[in-house]
A and B are shown apart, each in its own frame.
Chain A
């Protein structure tokens, strides 16, 4: 699909104008030509209206010419709009294309490049800087063609009307053409100075703000004001010069342009008086002459825009002008299916500054063998792992995988034959399943659903989830999901059955850690709204918070004397949360105990600001509603930031019965109450099985609940269904809705699922607890033994005893390599590392 051509960073700005857009550009030019011709028509009509219709007093001709005039104006307007539309289309297509290609290029750049590059720089390049270049490309043909053609057409018309007058009035443009670049060059010089000085000024301001303590403690206001003042003055002078040139260009352009009517009046007037020129012709001439000005101005502005955007474009492209270190695709062949032997000889890796990170590394492994890499941190373990995997390009020696030199393989060969779990693996936003299949999808060229068949089956995925110890986590995601009414009738029915069984078997044992729904008790782990209604508003009648906002419900709260206390609670909650969380980033972890969600924080911040400034009576009803909504979300068992009085608790509990009574009168369909026999759609699967909510976040208690639930689910053959639901869990941006351990397990799982012949694990289990670590260790030792060659960088020495061999790295060299027991018996480096004794 890619045409061979220069890399994106080496392309000229004009190359984008045509690539892909040939047809559009040609269409554009044709429309422009028509438009220009049509634009001349009114001038001719003007002449004829005066000369023929009015002078000869012919009404029918007047109507006819006026009709033509009108038609020409209308059509020209319509075509102008079409031209603009085409320009936009081309410009946006070019922008999109540039963004995609540059992004694609950036992704393939060597890792070393990213060590030095700020993500913000890449972001602004892709988003802001290329926009101007794209806009330019949209105009690159249209504007000059339109302007020049219009100029020529009008100029030709002028000459046709009257050659002498025509040439005289055109004579000024060469003068402008000569003067303009001179002025523009000076303006550009001043502009560059302005950019530099502005940057100096910005860093000066930043410096003073950072060093404000020092300035104040020294009372150095005078010094700093002077330094700042000097820069401001300098900038002022530069800006004056710059603006003078810019206005100079404008004014001289205007001046010369307005000289030509003057010439025409003198000359044309003389000719007309002498009867050598018709009056109509003079009028037409004057208005045609006037029309020269607009295209001329556009041409000049285009010239300036060209200069600006090409500076931005080339500077951006230069910044990313590096070559990828490896070919992405193999040439003229399918990717190799290598066997997993590894041979490393005299491998060295030297980075800028001549620092040798790896030196003389030599070892070899047969397919299916495994090797542990150990050593102090900074000894080069990760670097070695990444050299084997093409993440770094080694600078000396050889690495052969399955007999092929790694530096000569394409990226796809490596992707096919190796799997790598990084020290700090990265998880992308999307569902759990998407992340689990990430490596497999990428191997299948990321073509998504098209080849779903070549992707692992649910059973295979579940097997890997179990091996990596993340099965229970996914199950829990599934249990925390909501079902949609009328979609899973069968499942809903079965869950209610599970509920009964669960209650029977575990109800009593879990009384400490689960708060079961009980009509006569206050539920501390449900919110106030649920406590009042003890049910769920039905979607059709009071869906999406409508009940909450309804007058009916508000009136009810007033009637049971809850309105005021709830309003006060909302007020307190908003203030407290904003006080504690106001400055924090919208990160899930900060909001676990907050009734305000991350995306609502800014809104409530503004609300609290308003509350501070205003008196109670003046609060808008919208704000009141927001506070009330917050209070209704309050769940004393989870939101520990505000007190919950017994009085309020009793009031709410009393209101519950009343609510049921009243709403059943008002609209019996409005609310579905929590009943043991009904599925509750507003609650998670888990809460539906429990018919209640867990009271605690304590791991040991949750584990017990999980165990019990799993038992019932297995008995009812529902486990797979729930896990499948759990795989649709959204992991959040950078996977921030997963714990560190879950992220690491997921990273291992996605690599295991790909099952490559060579597996490289860089401290892949460092964030896991002992049990999980041991589990994965045993998977490596049993399942992968003989099936994949495994190189594992180990962060703990008690996990490496069963590896075939251990290599100890020190300052980029292998100081010893051999079976664990041998090395320990030899009392060398490994012994020292393991025992801390010399």
Chain B
């Protein structure tokens, strides 16, 4: 763990410091000054789930962002009683940053496939932090914009070129 020097007994089991290490690596928060990252790391909470638990369900506005400390989950889209697994979410992945920013009813459900531990930040806590440090919002917005653009570029390059139907529906980065 890379911590500011000067602490003689760097702890092995202190959750806060582990969280700090994780948050600093997440692209969504990575541009923020250390004192704010510290607060966010402090506000996060770990939660354990059993295989088969739902982290959120389609339509919920749970307002939480997840980092997968361990375990895997499937992103599920339900249509008329049938569930399609859209993709898998793996250890080390972060998702749900957007729902920290405002109301965002889920378009998918997230269901664990194995026993899972997540680091969770809630909208309520994030908003309190953002109230205290208004300067983080422009940075977050920049991260979001970059995320959307990167996503669409990747999608464009890897699929949409070869698929007419996809091409017609492109343009998230133009909203």
Stretch at the interface among A63-71, A277-285, A451-459, A695-703: A695-703
Verify A769–B62 contact, CB threshold 8 A. Answer: yes
Please tell me if B13 contacts chain A, counting CB pairs below 8 Å: yes
* Contacts A641-B14, A642-B14 given; does A770 touch B124 at CB 8 Å: no
A557-593 vs B: 1/0 string, CB under 8 Å? 0000000000000001000100111011101011001
Interface check B83, CB cutoff 8 A: no
CA distance A671 to B47 in the complex (A): 36
- For the complex, give the distance between the alpha carbons of A653 and B17 in Å: 26
A640 contacts B132, CB within 8 Å? no
Known A593-B42, A642-B14; judge A584-B132 contact (CB<8 A): yes
A795 touches B16 (CB 8 A): no
Contact indicator A770/B13 (Cβ below 8 Å): no
- Contact-residue bracket for chain A: 20 to 34
Given A696-B47, A698-B47, A770-B59, A739-B124 contact (CB < 8 Å): yes
State how many angstroms separate the Cβ of A627 from the closest Cβ of chain B. Answer: 16
**Which of these, B38, B53, B60, B103, contacts A580 with CB under 8 Å?**
B38
Which residues from chain A contact B11 at a C-beta distance below 8 Å?
A: 642-643
B25 at the interface (CB under 8 A from A): no
B22 to chain A, nearest CB (A): 13
- A640 to chain B: which residues have CB within 8 Å? 14-16, 19
Scoring A residues 768 to 791 as 1 if CB is less than 8 Å from chain B, else 0, what string do you get? 111000000000000000000000
Q: How far in angstroms is the closest Cβ of chain A from B56?
A: 9
Q: How far is the CA of A585 from the CA of B42 in the complex (A)?
A: 15
Please report the total number of B residues contacting A with Cβ < 8 Å: 29
Instruction: Tell whether, in the assembled complex, residue B13 and residue A580 are in contact, meaning their CB atoms are under 8 Å apart.
Output: no
Chain A residues near B12 (CB-CB < 8 A): 643
Q: A589-B124, A589-B125, A770-B57 are in contact. Are A643 and B38 (CB under 8 A)?
A: no
A508, B14: Cα distance in complex, Å: 29
Complex CA–CA separation, A584 to B35 (angstroms): 11
Shortest CB-to-CB span from A473 to chain B, Å, is: 15
Q: Which residues B1-34 have CB closer than 8 A to chain A?
A: 9, 11-16, 19
Cβ of A740 within 8 Å of any chain B Cβ, yes or no, is yes
Q: Least Cβ distance of B130 to chain A in Å?
A: 12
Which B residues are in CB contact (< 8 Å) with A700?
Answer: 49, 53
Whether A644 pairs with B59 at a CB distance below 8 angstroms is no
Give the distance in Å from the alpha carbon of A698 to the alpha carbon of B62 in the complex.
Answer: 13
Chain B residues, Cβ within 8 Å of A641: 14, 16, 42
Alpha-carbon separation in the docked complex, A243 to B124 (Å): 55
Output the least CB separation between A399 and chain B (Å). 30
Chain A residue nearest to B61 (CB atoms) is A769
The answer to whether A740 and B60 touch (CB under 8 A), given A641-B16, A696-B47, A698-B48, is no
Complex A-B: 12 CB contacts under 8 Å = A589-B43, A593-B42, A640-B16, A641-B16, A642-B11, A697-B45, A700-B49, A739-B124, A740-B124, A769-B62, A770-B105, A795-B103
The 5 closest A-B pairs by CB, nearest first: A643-B11, A640-B15, A643-B14, A641-B16, A698-B47
Query: With contacts A696-B48, A697-B47, A698-B47 known, what are 15 further pairs, Cβ within 8 A?
Result: A572-B9, A580-B42, A581-B42, A593-B42, A640-B15, A640-B19, A643-B9, A643-B12, A697-B45, A698-B48, A700-B49, A767-B103, A770-B57, A770-B61, A796-B105
